[in-house]
Amino acid sequence: MMKNIQLDLLDMHCASCALNIENALKKTEGVVTVNVNYATARAQIEVSDQTLDSNDLIKVVKKAGYTARAKADEVDITAEKDKRYKLLLFRFCFAVILSIPILVISMPLLLAPFGVNPEGLMDFTGRKLILFVLTTPVQIFAGWQFYQGAYKAARAKSTNMDTLVVLGTSAAYLYSVLNTFWLNGDVYYETAALLITFILLGKVLEERAKGKTGQAIKKLMGLKAKMARVLINGREKKLPLDEVKVGDIILVKPGEKIPIDGVVTKGATAIDESMISGEPLPVEKIIGCSVIGATINKNGSIEFRATKVGEGTVLAQIIKLVEAAQGSKAPIQRVADRISAYFVPLILVISLLTFTLWFFLGQGLVFSLMTGISVLVIACPCALGLATPTAIMVGTGKGAGKGILIKSGEALETTHKISTILFDKTGTLTKGKPEVTEVVGADKKKILTMATSLERLSEHSLAEAIIKEATKEKIKVLEANAFASIAGQGITGNIEGRDYYFGNRKLMDSHKISINHFAKELEVLESDGKTVMILGTGRSAIGLIAVADQLKDNAPLVIAAFHKLKIEPVMITGDNALSAKIVAQKVGIKKYFAEVLPQNKAREVEKLQDKGEVVAMVGDGINDSIALTQANVGIALGSGTDVAIESGDIVLVRNNLEDVLASIKLSKFTMAKIKQNLFWAFIYNLVGIPIAAGLLYPIWGIALKPELAGLAMALSSVSVVTNSLLLKFKKI
């Protein structure tokens, strides 16, 4: 039995940090899988050893040079992130305030347009000492987090981005210190100070942008009500949500939030469920209707019985799904991970080679040192590390706001590759609310009586329609004995000492019951797309009951859209071939599978996969659970009040076919962003590192200054996150 443990990681500074932690955890005995997400600063660990707990894994992370803790409440995490962001912003502002005079004193030509004599500033006594005094606080205080990160990595015998920053800035700073107190060369304090300032600027912008990518979780958490009005012995008492129990009666007044999930026991109202369904119009609620926690009661007072509390509520399940998705990795990220694993050591080698090459080519110590530093600080593993997770965070967050719950990065990636999509018929292409249209036979009342007496014990989706018709006709239900349900065929039972069989042709054939005298009626009803159930006793059929399930209004439009996307829609149903054909024709589906038993649906999915198709299965998440699991992507249509977490890779809360289309569009848009991010991250490093190494110097005499290299590095990761945020504006 597997156990999942989540940890918050408090001091990661780059993608290399994430890989260091991930590798340390993977080496721990009893750990099966590890996923460390740099963008969310969270580790998801699956363990087989039940004795392993979060404290054991926290020790492993600490040994690797980092700090972790058991997953905290999102509100606490947000507060801590805000605190860390404010400290980062303060350090940046501190660095800016000191860097301006450092820059002016180092490059007095900047003041020439203002009437200041630059030569006087260059030659005055104590210039180097003043620069030392101004730069040292920037190097030590503002750059402290980089030294801290590099030290932790070194202690764990690894490297990260902090290693590059520390080596680059320290080289410029220490070289300048030597020339201030012992030697008589030029100083480059502005290089060290501006490098730290620009990198801190990038970190500030990156943290701010990363915060925006995770807004979906914050919004969901913010929807929770704090208190509930619980009726105890007829008296109203306000209780915190964690004290409310299943079965409690809760009063909600107009304008208030529904605190938790339940069923209305008194009153009527309209409720704004847009936070769950995305639908703007309020939904009417009367006695017996379900209500969802965090939705808004509009215009009437109601009382309801609590049915789900705590982690069982719809909102809690949605948050759980979104958290899992945003913390997961897409397969495409493996490429970036493999590169990041060797990135920092490779840059250290390239920097050393750059310094050595230029020095032996006679360009002098200063030029060689500056190009070596430029290589160190322009390289950016962060852009690679942020490319995938930030896009996934924005994409899954956008989906959650539309009632599209994508359970993992892998599901998000696979969805855009779908070539064939299977639709269950009942409740998916149709409304799932069948009605009796005809009762055929000599004694219609008897036919309905016997069918209802059998169906009241059945869980079949058509049973409800027959019972509803019997109630309308005031049919008296009889007791049925020896009841048996035969999957894919129908039901049997004994009523008043006689055996009755109610189901399809297969059931009649297996019990040698003749249906020849109803052949014409069967053909007419089935040719109209109706599902016909036969009632038989003895050796002969005595009647037919036809049931019709109306197509969803948007079904033909959605199917047409799939044809345009070059994705083949296929219908799969347990209905007879003729009924299936009629429904398929009405919605515009060319290929269909009929008379497929529930347990055989997965086999049909497998057959398509064997032909090389990437298959999605759309179903209700209950009868189709095996097929949903077998499919490359299982898409479960929810009911709005029951988010089936275990069913499918994508859960559509609204039970709306258009959301199937929207989920595929969302996947395509998100994958496009990931590919753009990875492309620019790779191109940035492939182009930036050679330029920093002095590639253009022999051609145009241009050498990239270290401080400009630092600015480029800082902005590279910001650009990746910003590009991911643009996904918010895509229409799905």
Provide the β-strand partners of residue 547: 436, 531
Dihedral sign for Cα 76, 78, 84, 89, please: negative
Give me the CATH topology for the region 435-548.
Calcium-transporting ATPase, cytoplasmic domain N (3.40.1110)
Which amino acid would we find at residue 338? R
Which pLDDT value is given to residue 275? 72
With helix as H, strand as E and coil as C, how does 138-202 read?
Answer: HHHHHCHHHHHHHHHHHHCCCCCHHHHHHHHHHHHHHHHHHHHHCCCCCCCHHHHHHHHHHHHHH
Mean pLDDT, to the nearest integer, of 642-652? 68
Q: What is the pLDDT of residue 459?
A: 66
Separation CA 730–CA 286 (nearest Å): 37
Q: Is the pLDDT of residue 113 over 60?
A: no
Q: How far apart (Å, rounded) are the C-alpha atoms in residues 412 and 432?
A: 28
Size of the chain in residues:
732
Higher pLDDT, 18 or 237: 237
pLDDT at 644: 46
pLDDT band of residue 647 (cuts 50, 70, 90) is: low
Q: Write out the E strands in 354-510.
A: 404-406, 420-424, 435-440, 480-486, 490-495, 498-503
Look at residue 51 and give its three-state secondary structure.
Answer: coil
List b or e across 24-56, with b for residues whose CB sees 16 or more CB atoms inside 10 angstroms: bbeebeebeebbbbbbbbbbbbebeeeebeeee
- Long-range contacts, 694-701 (Cβ 8 Å, 24+): 694/354, 694/358, 694/371, 697/371
pLDDT of residue 183: 78
What is the set of active-site residues? 424
Per-residue pLDDT band for 75 (boundaries 50, 70, 90) equals low
Topology of domain 3-71 in CATH is Alpha-Beta Plaits (3.30.70)
CB 240 within 8 A of CB 227: yes
The pLDDT tens digits of the residues spanning 379-389 come to 877 787 788 88
Q: Which two tokens stand for residue 344?
A: 């920092």
* Nearest of 709, 23, 35 to residue 331 by alpha carbon: 35
Burial of 729 per CB tally in 10 Å (0-12, 13-18, 19+):
exposed
More confidently predicted of 427 and 420: 420
Give mean pLDDT, residues 24-29.
Answer: 88
Pairing of strands 3-9, 42-47: antiparallel
Q: Is pLDDT above 70 for 120?
A: no
- Which residue do the tokens 């006689």 mark? 498
pLDDT score, position 278: 62
Task: Give, for 570, the enclosing helix (H) or strand (E).
Answer: strand 568-572
Q: Find the angle CA(649)-CA(650)-CA(653) to the nearest 5 degrees.
A: 145
Give the global pTM.
Answer: 0.77
**Model pLDDT, residue 38:** 78
SS3 of residue 283 by DSSP: strand
What are the tens digits of pLDDT across the range 197-212? 988 888 888 788 777 7
Return the minimum-mean-pLDDT range out of 103-112, 136-145, 283-292, 531-540: 103-112
Confidence at residue 76, expressed as pLDDT on a 0 to 100 scale = 59
The residue whose two tokens read 């009063």 is 251
Average pLDDT over residues 333-353: 84
How much is the average pLDDT of 147-169? 84
What pLDDT sits at residue 458? 75
- Across the range 458-466, mean pLDDT stands at 77
Location of structure tokens 């007829």:
234
Two tokens, residue 186: 């030029």
560 pLDDT above the threshold of 90: yes
Assess whether pLDDT exceeds 80 at residue 5.
Answer: yes
Question: Quick one: CA torsion of 583, 586, 589, 594, rounded to 10 degrees?
Answer: 10
> Whole-angstrom Cα distance, residue 141 to residue 325?
37
What is the residue-averaged pLDDT of the chain?
Answer: 85
Give the CA distances from residue 488 to residues 11, 34, 514, 675, in Å, rounded to whole numbers and listed in that order: 57, 42, 19, 46
**Domain spans of the chain?**
3-71, 73-213, 221-308, 313-403+663-702+711-732, 435-548
Please state which of the ranges 63-72, 249-258, 440-449 shows the lowest mean pLDDT: 63-72
* Cβ atoms 631, 422 nearer than 8 A: yes
pLDDT at 646: 62
Determine the pLDDT at residue 551: 86
Across the range 326-338, mean pLDDT stands at: 77
- Average pLDDT of the residues in 706-719: 84
pLDDT at 640: 47
Q: Where does residue 464 rank: exposed (0-12), middle (13-18), buried (19+ CB within 10 A)?
A: middle
Least confident interval from 168-177, 524-533, 566-575, 599-608: 524-533
> Which residues fall within 8 angstroms of residue 555, CB to CB, at 6 or more apart?
429, 430, 587, 657
Residue 531, pLDDT above cutoff 90: no
| Residues 482 and 527 sit within 8 Å (Cβ to Cβ) | no
The residues, ordered by sequence, that sit 6+ positions from 115 with a Cβ below 8 Å of its Cβ are none
d(CA 465, CA 467): 6
Is pLDDT above 90 for 568? Answer: yes
Q: Which CATH number fits domain 221-308: 2.70.150.10, 3.30.70.1050, 3.40.50.300, 3.20.20.450?
A: 2.70.150.10
Q: Are 398 and 732 in contact (CB under 8 A)?
A: yes
Percent of the chain surpassing pLDDT 90: 27
Has residue 237 got a pLDDT over 80?
yes
What is the pLDDT, as a whole number, of residue 664?
94
> Where are the strands (E) in 490-537, listed by range?
490-495, 498-503, 531-537
State residue 641's pLDDT score: 47
**Looking at this protein, which amino acid is placed at residue 86?**
K
Q: Is the pLDDT of residue 672 over 90?
A: yes
* pLDDT for residue 109 is more than 60: no
* Cβ atoms 260, 254 nearer than 8 A: no
Q: How far apart are CA 576 and CA 527, in angstroms?
A: 11
- Mean pLDDT is highest, among 558-562, 596-600, 721-725, for 558-562
Per the DSSP assignment, residues forming a β-bridge with 439 are 545
Contacts of 400 by beta carbon, 8 Å cutoff, 6+ apart:
216, 220, 318, 321, 322
Task: Tell me the C-alpha distance between 553 and 558, whole Å.
Answer: 10
End-to-end CA distance of the chain: 39
